[in-house]
Amino acid sequence: MQRLFSPSLNSSSTSTLEDSFDLVVLGAGSGGLAAAKRAASYGARVAIVEGDRVGGTCVIRGCVPKKLLLYGAIYKDYIENASSFGVSFEKTTIDSSVLLSNVRDEVDRLNSLHIKFLQNSGVELIRGWASFIDTNTIKVVEGNNYENQRIVYGKNILIAVGGHPTRPRIPGSEFCWVSDDIFLQDKFPETIAIVGAGYIACEFSSILNGLGVNVIQLVRGDHLLRGFDKELSEALKENMYNNGIQIKFGQFPIAVDQKLGSLEIHTNKGEIIKVERILLGTGRIPRLKGLDLSAVGVTVENGKIVVDENQVTNIPNIYAVGDVSNRVNLTPVAIDEGRALSDRLFGDIPRKVNYKLVPKAVFSRPEIGSVGLTEKEAIECYGEENIKVYRSKFRSMSKSLSKKGPSCLLKLIVENLSQKVIGCHMVGESAAEIIQMASIAITMKATKANFDETMALHPTIAEEFVTMV
């Protein structure tokens, strides 16, 4: 291949062929891996720099291990309802240590698999932590060994280092877990307090409750899941209550004390809550510390790197994708951003990412799936008199014999003039799988008539989306 880039002769370090790349990717998470492999498929010489395991938040300490834990939690529901189907158990126990060990083994397998994918793609994996020297030059330090450094040059540099959990600045917060810590445990406690109202807090509340942990959730505001349709969050709240989760709205910790074998939360309302462990599920921020972005003048606002619709920063050859940028922080979005960038840089394909219709899911018990406008957003956009909301609430067949468990809620939001479906939302089993398919229809600008013309598949939950009147 003809080389596209040679470092400046004015550089203070001696350059070699091995040090110079057409694309240097900082971070081997979902977005970085996607960009690196796509660029290499076009013949570009690519390096990816990573100081941690390969796979990023989603594979190592996020989506994948979390959903594996959720599957473990769901078995409790199956067992409790088994007698309705004629299945009996003399005794059942939940050994969280076995589940956690198996989840870690699966994460290790995926880490190794991603390394092999890079090797097969011809991407060089450089181990260590990166920082900028200038707009084309990166210093890589392995661990804390500052004597073991490597200088790497790139015509194009992509920042895809992801994010990390936040820890509120309150006395005693160092005694608490953040979401990364969950997957490192040998077993789960008997009692836990979870702080937060977002998807991280709600998912772990549901998972740990399903695994037999006594869960208390502290929510600063008056509702769960800001940004989701309010009716969905209310349905989840009801089911969390029914599952035995204590949710304390309007309460948040102001201090944490460590006692012998337990922790005490002091809340803003003067309550003291005693539990074995505390999980802070209060959000994530970009992992920018140590990159030395000031050395090259990359614009950062509100803790995020500012990029345009082509993932370009204010420095023309420096790009950012995924959780570090001011876009949508979801794994599939980061992957598409990375691929679109490499398509444009090396494949001569001027493709842009569509941020308008991004499906979202919360892997709680029950699941939530959502795409398009919420009811509130639709009213704000079109006016209440110009939309129509269709909904269906029922108990699924899997719960019909036991007469226990959450109801399903399905919801369509339609704009009256065009009759286009502008929002599709669901609470219930397989919600994420169903919404993924509904996203295709909404992306293609399907109307309510298109939904009505679609033949139902009976008996299923999803058929309700095409039979609503």
Range of the domain at 250: 167-282
- Residue 16's pLDDT band, with cuts at 50, 70 and 90, is low
Has residue 82 been placed in a domain? no
270 and 295, same structural domain?
A: no
Q: What is the pLDDT of residue 80?
A: 83
Whether residue 307 is found in the same domain as residue 413: no
Give the separation between CA 138 and CA 133, rounded to whole angstroms.
6
Inside any domain, residue 189: yes
Same-domain status, 336 and 190: no
Q: How many CA atoms lie within 13 A of 409 on its CB side?
A: 19
Do residue 295 and residue 338 come from a single domain? Answer: yes
Determine the pLDDT at residue 10. 40
Tokens of 394: 């029922």
Q: Identify whether residues 327 and 387 lie together within a single domain.
A: no
Q: Are residues 21 and 159 in the same domain?
A: yes
* pLDDT value, residue 260: 87
- Distance from C-alpha of 161 to C-alpha of 416, rounded to nearest angstrom: 43
Determine whether 223 is an active site residue: no
CB 338 within 8 A of CB 372: no
Q: Which residues pair with 425 in a beta bridge?
A: 370, 411
Band (466; pLDDT cuts 50, 70, 90)? very high
pLDDT bucket at 90, cuts 50 / 70 / 90: confident
Look at 94-98, 154-158, 169-173 and tell me which has the smallest mean pLDDT.
94-98
Encode 204-214: b = buried (16+ Cβ within 10 Å), e = exposed. bbbbbbbbebb
Q: What pLDDT, on a 0 to 100 scale, did the predictor assign at position 91? A: 75
Q: What is the pLDDT of residue 228?
A: 96
Mean pLDDT along residues 443-457: 97
* In a domain? residue 90: no
* Residue where one domain finishes, among candidates 282, 304, 326: 282
Last residue of a domain, one of 261, 282, 303: 282
Instruction: Please give the pLDDT value at position 406.
Output: 86
12 belongs to a structural domain: no
Residues 211 and 313 in one domain: no
Residue 81: per-residue pLDDT: 85
Same structural domain, 111 and 246: no
Residue 92 three-state SS: coil
Set 114, 164, 425, 458: catalytic member: 458
- Given a contact cutoff of 8 angstroms between Cβ atoms, the answer to whether 237 and 249 are in contact is no
d(CA 338, CA 50): 16
Task: Tell me the one-letter amino acid at 314.
Answer: N
Query: What domain count does the chain have?
Result: 3
pLDDT at 92: 76
Q: What is the DSSP string of 378-407?
A: HHHHH-GGGEEEEEEEE--GGGTTT--SPP
Same domain, 390 and 461: yes
Q: How high is the pLDDT of residue 17?
A: 63
Q: Is the pLDDT of residue 388 over 60?
A: yes
Give the pLDDT confidence score for residue 2 in this predicted structure.
37
One domain, residues 295 and 153? yes
The mean pLDDT of the chain is: 93
Q: Please state, for a pLDDT cut of 90, what percent of the chain lies above it.
A: 86
**What are the CA-CA distances from residue 82 to residues 77, 206, 398 (Å)?**
8, 20, 11
User: What confidence tens digit (pLDDT) does each residue in 252-299 have?
Assistant: 999 999 998 899 999 999 999 999 999 999 999 999 999 999 999 999
CATH number of the domain encompassing residue 173 = 3.50.50.60
As a whole number, mean pLDDT of residues 150-158 equals 97
Q: Could you tell me if 189 and 166 are in contact, meaning their C-beta atoms sit under 8 angstroms apart?
A: no
456 vs 75, higher pLDDT:
456
Strand partners, 387: 415
DSSP designation for 467:
T
d(CA 173, CA 284): 15
Residue 420, pLDDT score: 98
The pLDDT assigned to 445 comes to 97
Amino acid 403: pLDDT: 87
**77 domain-assigned:** no
Last residue of a domain, one of 313, 346, 379: 346
Asked if residue 424 is part of any domain, the answer here is yes
CATH number of the structural domain spanning residue 388: 3.30.390.30
31 & 157 share domain: yes
Are 26 and 142 in the same domain? yes
> What are 183-216's pLDDT values in tens digits?
999 999 999 999 999 999 999 999 999 999 999 9
Q: Do the domain assignments include residue 425? A: yes
- Is residue 225, in this structure, part of any structural domain at all? yes
